[in-house]
Amino acid sequence: MSITTSDTALSVERHWQELASRRRLYTIGGLAFMVLALAGSLWFANESNAGKFWDRLPHLFDFVDQLLPRDGWEVWRALFDLPSPYDDGSLKYDYPEGRMYLTQSLYVPEYVYKMIETLNIALVSTLVGFALGFCLCFLAASNLVTQRWLRFFVRRFMEVLRAFPEIVIAGFFLAVLSLGAIPAILAVSIHTVGALGKMFFEVVENADMRPDEGLRAAGANWPERVWFGIVPQVMPNFLSYALLRLEINVRASTIIGAVGGGGIGEVLRLSISQTHEAKTLAIILLLFLTIVGVDQFSAWLRRKLVGDQAFAFGRGD
Amino acid sequence: MLHIRDVTRRFGKNTAVDQVALEIPHGQMVGIIGRSGAGKSTLLRMINRLIDPSQGSIFFDRTEVSTLAGPALRRWQRDCAMIFQQFNLVPRLDVLTNVLLGRLNHRSTALNLLGMFSREERAHAIASLERLGIAQAALQPAGTLSGGQQQRVAIARALMQQPKVILADEPIASLDPLNAKVVMDSLQDINLRDGITVITNLHTLDTARAYCNRIIGMAAGKVVFDGAPEELTREAVRMVYGAEADGDEISEAITSTSAGTGMGARPRKPAPALAPAFAAH
């Protein structure tokens, strides 16, 4: 099919062909680079590993073998601190050790107590992070703050807060404040302020500015404009992000426990290193159930609080 | 008296408002007409100081409005309420709270942030809503109301500011004819009963003719017509809207948002004697 075309149309066509072939070249080049980079990284990782991956792979099953308890009930006995029939006086089978007695006969099993300790770390640091992140985020939003230096300063500050992983900050505070939950709370809070602050100010920047304009035209000052014009719009998303952060913080405070921050992570590390197989499995089971529970709870709460309005703002309805 | 002295506003190379000079006495109902991009909206926003003028000054009585800053600026913005095409309410807050937000500048920030409005203020807000016929919606979130109702809430909020001037930027452009009539009637009522100056941007000629006792036509940032509705002749309309040179008349029936007979009755308030100020070109 031949269509006679004008010079302009021909030149557009030629130009388009050029652009298309250049795009194709970039795509092929990019893919080739990706494959090379991946192969190189894997090779380097294997070289720098103590043992070679393929040589060590069969030992995976030794570990599984070591984790098997003497019988299936041992896991439950370890979890609920019930006496074991294999008790030989060693710590390995002394499950009732570590019960937290509330009254003469009523007790909280050790690992449940440690789990509550970890959950508490996560909860407190999410609340602290929410409060401080909330205060900072409005100062970092370009639609609310015209002073570039202030925005720049607040944003860099939050970047610094979230730049270091919780475990690094925790290591520092553990050295200063000694072992326990307080340094863990500090570490997780600091990271949470930075992480939530960033998400919050991005939500604020997407807010519909018409309510704000209306308030400005009525003579409202900055705090009033933020509180009445912006906060009602962004609050559902803030809560949604905070609940997500709570889930993340439960995992983070578990890990921090393993480096001395108290809670379930600490007992997990101890029982793995001492090959207390029933205790290890009990803790893993408890962790799994807790994390699933927290995720389900926060999903339910999010639905309750936010409903389906979460992402409906900015449409002017 | 609102006195606009040779005000110019430039956006980059583009001049939105070019050397506009106007005097608007207290209690007038002024309609500003012109094509989109003629600078109507920019002019209103400069009066409220949502936008700052590039040149020139704006006086209200003895106060130079165009140089105010900080609390004094916010006090002027309180005295000079603004109504927007898109209502600019807070959709998630209930109607009554939205109306009470008009009081923000009368009160201390701490009380405002705690949401502690007094009994009198609430009564006043409900009375404003009643006056506009939407008191029954007072507890709904503002976002759930229809456009016409939202615009009436916005007017109630403006009333709560106890303003001296109300600026309305295309208040009926997003409304159906019936709601447009309700909103324009309310603005007229406020103008006549409370004696508040109302300056409104309009995109329909018949609305301007029906409700305003002074019409200002703008084209390319300049004022090209300023006079009573009777003086807005076919030539004047052509000057404002820059109709084709072949003299095709702009049909008011096409642009009209009127629901028919309802709109015609402009109260015969003695129109101030104003010479039509045809611009020099």
Question: Which amino acid is it at B148?
Answer: G
The chain A residue lying nearest B162, using CA atoms, is A218
CA distance B79 to chain A (A): 8
Task: Tell me the mean pLDDT in the region A175-193.
Answer: 90
CA distance A209 to chain B (A): 8
- Helix (H) or strand (E) holding A181, with range, is helix A181-205
ipTM above 0.90, yes or no: no
Q: Give the model confidence (pLDDT) of B14-54 as tens digits.
A: 999 999 999 999 999 999 999 888 999 999 999 999 999 99
Angle formed at CA A11 by CA A8 and CA A15, multiple of 5 degrees: 140
User: Using a CB-CB distance cutoff of 8 angstroms, which residues of chain B are in contact with residue A211?
Assistant: 88-91
Decide: A78 and A278 in contact? Cβ < 8 Å. Answer: yes
Q: How far apart are CA B51 and CA A288, in angstroms?
A: 57
Q: How far apart are CA B155 and CA B179, in angstroms?
A: 13
Task: Tell me the mean pLDDT in the region A87-91.
Answer: 80
Of B82, B90, B92, the CB nearest to A217: B82
**Nearest residue to B188 (alpha-carbon basis) of B177, B178, B176, B200:** B200
What is the predicted pLDDT for the residue at B262? 42
* CB proximity list for B91: less than 8 A, separation 6 or greater: A208, A211, A232, A233, A313, A316, A317, B141, B142, B143
Average pLDDT, chain A: 88
CB distance B109–A223 less than 8 Å? Answer: yes
Decide: A95 and A78 in contact? Cβ < 8 Å. Answer: yes
Question: Does the beta carbon of B140 lie under 8 angstroms from any beta carbon of chain A?
Answer: no
Q: Is the pTM of this model over 0.95?
A: no
User: Using a CB-CB distance cutoff of 8 angstroms, which residues of chain B are in contact with residue A229?
Assistant: 90
User: Using a CB-CB distance cutoff of 8 angstroms, which residues of chain B are in contact with residue A210?
Assistant: 84, 86-88
Look at residue A101 and give its three-state secondary structure.
strand
CA distance B144 to chain A (A): 7
Question: Does the beta carbon of A189 lie under 8 angstroms from any beta carbon of chain B?
Answer: no
Q: Give the model confidence (pLDDT) of A59-84 as tens digits.
A: 878 877 777 888 888 888 888 888 88
What is the predicted pLDDT for the residue at A188? 94
**Nearest residue to B63 (alpha-carbon basis) of B44, B45, B80:** B80
Of A211, A216, A218, the CB nearest to B81: A218
Decide: B250 and B208 in contact? Cβ < 8 Å. Answer: no
Task: Tell me the mean pLDDT in the region A150-167.
Answer: 93
User: Using a CB-CB distance cutoff of 8 angstroms, which residues of chain A are in contact with residue B50?
Assistant: 213, 216-217
- Helix (H) or strand (E) holding A47, with range, is helix A7-48
User: Using a CB-CB distance cutoff of 8 angstroms, which residues of chain B are in contact with residue A216?
Assistant: 50, 77
What is the predicted pLDDT for the residue at B52? 93
CB distance A317–B143 less than 8 Å? Answer: yes
B261 band by pLDDT with thresholds 50, 70 and 90: very low
Question: Does the beta carbon of A293 lie under 8 angstroms from any beta carbon of chain B?
Answer: no
What is the predicted pLDDT for the residue at B269? 46
Q: Answer yes or no: is pLDDT of A310 > 60.
A: no
Interface test with A, best of B65, B88, B162 (most A CBs within 10 A): B88
CB distance A220–B91 less than 8 Å? Answer: no
User: Using a CB-CB distance cutoff of 8 angstroms, which residues of chain A are in contact with residue B109?
Assistant: 221, 223-224
Q: Give the model confidence (pLDDT) of A197-225 as tens digits.
A: 999 999 999 999 999 999 999 999 999 99
CA distance A214 to chain B (A): 5
Question: Does the beta carbon of B100 lie under 8 angstroms from any beta carbon of chain A?
Answer: no
Q: Give the model confidence (pLDDT) of A20-40 as tens digits.
A: 999 999 999 999 999 999 999
Question: Does the beta carbon of A217 lie under 8 angstroms from any beta carbon of chain B?
Answer: yes
Q: Answer yes or no: is pLDDT of B257 > 70.
A: no
Quickly list DSSP for A190-207. Answer: HHHHHHHHHHHHHHHHTS
SS3 per-residue string spanning chain B: CEEEEEEEEEECCEEEEEEEEEEECCCCEEEEEECCCCCHHHHHHHHHCCCCCCEEEEEECCEEHHHCCHHHHHHHHHHEEEECCCCCCCCCCEHHHHHHHHHHHHCCHHHHHCCCCCHHHHHHHHHHHHHCCCHHHCCCEHHHCCHHHHHHHHHHHHHHCCCCEEEECCCCCCCCHHHHHHHHHHHHHHHHHHCCEEEEECCCHHHHHHHCCEEEEEECCEEEEEECHHHCCHHHHHHHHCCCCCCCCCCHHHHCCCCCHHHCCCCCCCCCCCCCCCCCC
